[in-house]
Chains A and B, each alone.
Chain A
Amino acid sequence: MMAEIAAAPKNVKFIITRQDDQQSTPYVEEFSLPYRPGMNVISALMEIQRNPVNAMGDHTVPVCWDSNCLEEVCGACSMVINGKPRQACAALIDNLEQPVRIEPMKTFPVVRDLVIDRTRMFNALKKVKAWIPIDGTYDLGPGPRMPEKKRQWAYELSKCMTCGVCLEACPNVNEKTNFIGPAAISQVRLFNAHPTGEMNSDDRLEALMEDGGIDGCGNSQNCVRACPKGIPLTTSIAEINKQTTKHMFKRWLGV
């Protein structure tokens, strides 16, 4: 008898905000899952998928979510866990307060349950031309070398996985503004720092000087604290503030 009681499984409670489709109103559903060592939010969602029964014991539709790499480098599984936007794959149950509250990142359009549509972030990267144009009809030869010191900090910026946490954390990214958000601004700094990318720096700066550009930043600096990759987003924003300010004067004076 004693052994049986000791072996009785611990349960972990989850409170999940769900939504059936883009238009329907969100609702909350609770789940109680057996604890397993090392479990994280994704494995819990997988368990619900395997056995879709809610805390009331009723059979329900499995919760939908988005994930890919399961090692915090792809950015697909971002959701709001216990009030903070973060990657579900890196959210270990052992480190979370219970019950675990899971919501979608509502800054983005909710597709279903925890699945969100981050298209605006990819459009932002297109808008600021976050790439280095080298395609052509003939070999351009090797580009200029990058100083090692610069490469080191530029590498940090390249860790951005377009996960959307910085946009979710920003008080100026909301339905009343069209602010592009910190991620794309940091990518402009990255590609403007590249010796070949620098050749198109004006295009990127002008994209950020358009409506919804860098002027939307209000210096709350939540982004830098929220970024799961520790990217110095506020330094990037201030540096691009400097570059756009210089560009503005250069354009006026016709240099």
Chain B
Amino acid sequence: MRGFYSRKIHSLLGVIPLGGFFLEHMLTNFSAVEGGPSGFNDSVLWLNSLPLVFFLELFGIWLPLLYHGVFGLYIAYQSKPNLNRYNLERNWRYTLQRVTGIITFIFVVWHVFETRFQVALGNVKHEELGGVMHDIVTQPLLLAFYTIGIISASFHFANGLWSFLISWGVTVGPRAQKVSSFLCLGLFVLVTFMFLISLVTFRDSEFQSAAAIAQTLKAMI
């Protein structure tokens, strides 16, 4: 009984709220493409001006992320991949779901440490996050790490949505599961593209100047 509910909650949290936040994050980042540093800052500040933002973050992101991440690692540990025996598309996705889950876990811990955690410590202000991202993605190694992290997270999200639909009994027949495969694959491509385009935008020198201004302001104070 415990296993059934804990797995159901894991599956649900992956989509609501984490999937929702993932898409929201994608849009916030994309405002950097659309509106440059000021557009990005406006989006960040809008998000942080939401009422009860602490509780929204706690129950909408931190706790679900902790549960989904830790329980997900346990699920990955329990699997015994057999691609050598069954070199099939669905079996590849099963295995990649677990592999990308682990990569995403590491990536998210790293990313949160560099950004939100530094804000919480008071080392960085919300308005300076664009500059922080600029400093990160102008380093080739970190850019590669972020690219891998984004592709992993996007795949894990899109393919997770596909298996969520099965686990909750929405897509039952083989045809429904095939159509949802294509839709989720499309979503994976779209989300990956949106995140990567934002990532490249952060390399722009406009964000550097934003970072530099923030630095000088900090130095002056």
Contact = CB atoms under 8 A, between A and B. Distances in A.
Interface of A: 83-84, 169, 171-172, 174, 176-177, 209-222, 225-226, 232, 234-235, 237-246, 248
A240 B88 CA distance: 24
B89 to A, nearest CB: 9
B79 A235 contact: no
Task: List 8 A-B pairs, minimum CB-CB distance, nearest first.
Answer: A242-B169, A220-B94, A215-B7, A221-B90, A241-B169, A174-B80, A238-B172, A219-B163
Contacts of A169: 82, 85-86
A87 B64 CA distance: 45
A246 B169 contact: yes
Contact of A172 (B2, B78, B86, B171): B78
B48 interface: no
A87 to B, nearest CB: 17
Q: Give the one of A219, A222, A225, A242 with max B CB within 10 A.
A: A219
Sorting the interface of chain B by its residue count into under 10, 10 to 19, 20 to 34 or 35 or more gives 35 or more
Nearest to A177: B78
B51 interface: no
A171 B91 contact: yes
B78 A212 contact: no
Q: Classify the interface of chain B: helix, strand, loop or mixed.
A: helix
B174 interface: yes
A176 B81 CA distance: 12
B8 A215 contact: yes
B220 to A, nearest CB: 56
A63 B7 CA distance: 43
Given A218-B79, A238-B166, A243-B169, A212 B3 contact: yes
B3 A216 contact: yes
Nearest to A222: B86
Contacts of B171: 238
A34 to B, nearest CB: 30
B78 A220 contact: no
Contact of A213 (B3, B95, B167, B174): B3
Contact of A245 (B1, B91, B168): B168
B3 A220 contact: no
B4 interface: yes
A91 to B, nearest CB: 16
A226 B86 contact: yes
21 contacts: A83-B85, A171-B95, A174-B78, A177-B78, A210-B3, A211-B3, A213-B3, A217-B167, A218-B75, A219-B162, A220-B95, A221-B88, A222-B90, A225-B88, A234-B166, A235-B172, A235-B173, A235-B174, A238-B169, A238-B171, A241-B168
A212 B169 CA distance: 19
B115 interface: no
A194 B90 CA distance: 31
A241 B177 CA distance: 14
A239 B173 CA distance: 8
B90 A219 contact: yes
B7 A241 contact: no
Interface in B63-117: 75, 77-82, 84-86, 88, 90-91, 94-95, 97
